Every structure is written in C-alpha cells, then in structure tokens.
Amino acid sequence: MKKIFLVALCTTMGTCVMAQSAITEKEIKDHIWYLASPKMKGRFPGTAGNNKAADYLVKQFKKSGISPFGNSYFQEFTAKMRVKKGVTDTPYVQTKNVVGFIEGSDPKLKNEYIVIGAHYDHLGMGGASSKKPDTVAVHPGADDNASGTAALLEISEKLAANKASLKRSIIIIAFSAEEQGLLGSKYFTEHPLVPLSQIKLMINMDMVGRMNTEKHLYMGGAASFDGGMELMKSLGPKIGINPIVNAYDVGGSDHVSFYKKNIPVLGFHTGGHPQYHTPEDDRKLINIAGEKLVCDYIYEALTTIANRNEPILFVPEKKM
C-alpha cells in the first residue's frame, strides 16, 4: 500500500526522492564514497569494516528488491590470511560472500544462471599484498574494488527492476577475501548454490573506476563462449566506449575460479595505475562518468546473453 502511494505521489509531483532503478552517476558515487571511506579501514576480512561493507550490500540488495538465495544473503567461510615472508603463524578469520538472486522469467531457461560478481574486500591497513608493505595506513581500495562493488549494486538494481524481461536467472555475488588468493570465489565454486553445470557465464568486475580519456574498457574471456567476441565488440559504439576485447587472457581475479571449472567468463577492468595496492587508491581519483559507461556496457552485454534463445556454450582455449 505504502509503495503504491509513493509511486502515485512521485508521478503527480513529476520528481521523486526514492532510489532510482536506473544506473546513475550519483548512486555509483554514493556507494564508492561509503565503501572506500576512511572509517571502513580498508575492508579487511575479519574486521568491522569488512562486516559493515557486507551489511551495506544486504541493505542495498533489499532496497533493490533482490532476494537471498535460500534463507540468507551471507555465505560464510573461513579465510586463511596471507602473511609477510618469514612470518610463521597463519591467521584464520571468518568472513562471507554476499549473494543475491533474481529469478528468470522463462519457464525453461530460468534453470540456467548467469553470475555477476565483484570482490568487496581490500587490504585493510596494508601488509603482505601492499605495494608499500612497511607502511601502516588505511588502504581505502576505492578502485580496488569499491568501484566494482558499486557497479555490481547499480547493475543488479536495474536488473531487478527489469526482471520480467530476463529469461535466465541471475546470481549476484560480492566476494570477500579476493586479495587473500581469490578465497571467496574459490569457496563459492566449491560450495555452489546451484549445480555448476547450470552456471552458463560468470561476469567479474575488478577495478572499473579509472577509465582513461580514450574510454578503454579491458576484458578477458570473450572467446570462452560462442559468439562472445562479436557481441562484446559490437556493443562499444552503442554505449560510446572503446572495448579492448581479449579472447582469453583471463587474468587473476575471481572469475578465474569459475574458468577453472569450465564456465565461460568475462573479466572486466579499466587498467592499472600507480595507486594500485597503496594507501593512495582514493575515492577522489575515480572517474564516475567513466564508470557509468562501464555499467551501461556490462548491463547491455549481460541482458543480451541472458535473453538469447540459443544455448551458451563453453569454448576452451586452444593451447598451441
């Protein structure tokens, strides 16, 4: 009742204060500003900042009308943390993937799944994986990977609003402990919520906030499913970006865990920079307008693939 009233109110007033189901620069910025704020202390697994980020994601999923898969949005696991060379005790911490679900509308194809994901953890105060391992300071991880997490929230919000037109089902995953060795995605592929054979594509976003002036968006894996290369190239002009479409060159983020299970993947990023894995990977350096284009492009790709009538087939790399 309340919702109907609000919708009516919005229509009469012409403007609306409710969250928009469209992908907007403002919402991308809001998500990044929250996730990469100094008080989150670098979202290190097992810390309050990481748990707060997970709670924020659940809040956003609920706001967007995204359901949990089963009873909980959380998939908890134990992460073995990286330590500096020479350190002998291995810390283990509890952390969690945050998983949402949008059911497809086609009676048959809804039993096939497309996973879209991004890791939300980062390096905390530095340590073993920092480029400045002896500096103890908040590593805010604005590009790595508040940017990908924000893109995940915006794309999935729009998917949920348009779910009636989606044939296949979508699983949305914010992974934890990526920086510790892809641990969240490894855990998911070892404990998948649906049979792996029914996951037809995994789309990953890791560092998508620093698009350059040439509007390059890099991706690996486009040839890992039939028709991928042609599709990914064709969408560039429509959105107004220059996609750099790599056939394989799968790289080193969470999509690799799926690729190893013979699942087609697309791994997206906007390129490296000097602030990578340092305390200087700051919110102010994010190209918000560029990230909006990244979201538009991935949304277009995802919906095209989710709605195609032909099966989505894994095409393994032919090693010479």
Interface with Zn ion (CB under 5 A): 144-145, 206
Measured from the CB of residue 125, what is the shortest distance to Zn ion in angstroms?
Answer: 17
Provide, rounded to whole angstroms, the least separation between the CB of residue 215 and Zn ion: 21
For the bound state, the minimum distance from the C-beta of residue 207 to Zn ion, rounded and expressed in Å, comes to 6
CA 288 – CA 294 distance, rounded (Å): 10
Q: Which of 89, 30, 78 lies closest to 184, judged by CA?
A: 78
Helix axes 25-35, 48-64, angle to 10 degrees: 160
CB of 59 to Zn ion, least distance (A): 22
Name the β-bridge partners of 101: 67, 171
How far is the C-alpha of 296 from the C-alpha of 155, rounded, in Å? 8
Cβ distance to Zn ion smaller for residue 47 or 145? 145
Which of 145/169 has CB closer to Zn ion? 145
Smallest distance from the beta carbon of 279 to Zn ion, in angstroms? 16
What is the full DSSP assignment across 218-253? EEE-GGGBTTHHHHHHHHHHHHT-EEEE-SS---SS
Give the Cα separation of 253 and 63 in Å (integer). Answer: 28
Edge-to-edge strand ranges of the sheet holding 199-205: 74-80, 92-102, 169-175, 113-119, 199-205, 265-269, 216-220, 242-245
Tokens of 254: 């969470």
d(CA 103, CA 163): 7
**CA pseudo-torsion sign 81, 99, 244, 314:** positive
Could you tell me the smallest distance in angstroms from the CB atom of residue 239 to Zn ion? 23
Name which of 104 and 290 has its Cβ closer to Zn ion: 290
The C-alpha atoms of residue 273 and residue 208 are separated, in whole angstroms, by 12
Q: Closest CB to Zn ion among 27 and 144?
A: 144
For residues 189 and 204, which CB has a smaller minimum distance to Zn ion in the complex? Answer: 204
Nearer to Zn ion, 189 or 270 (CB): 270
Q: How far is the CB of 137 from Zn ion (least distance, A)?
A: 18
Which C-beta is closer to Zn ion: that of 118 or that of 159? 118
Residue type, 103: E
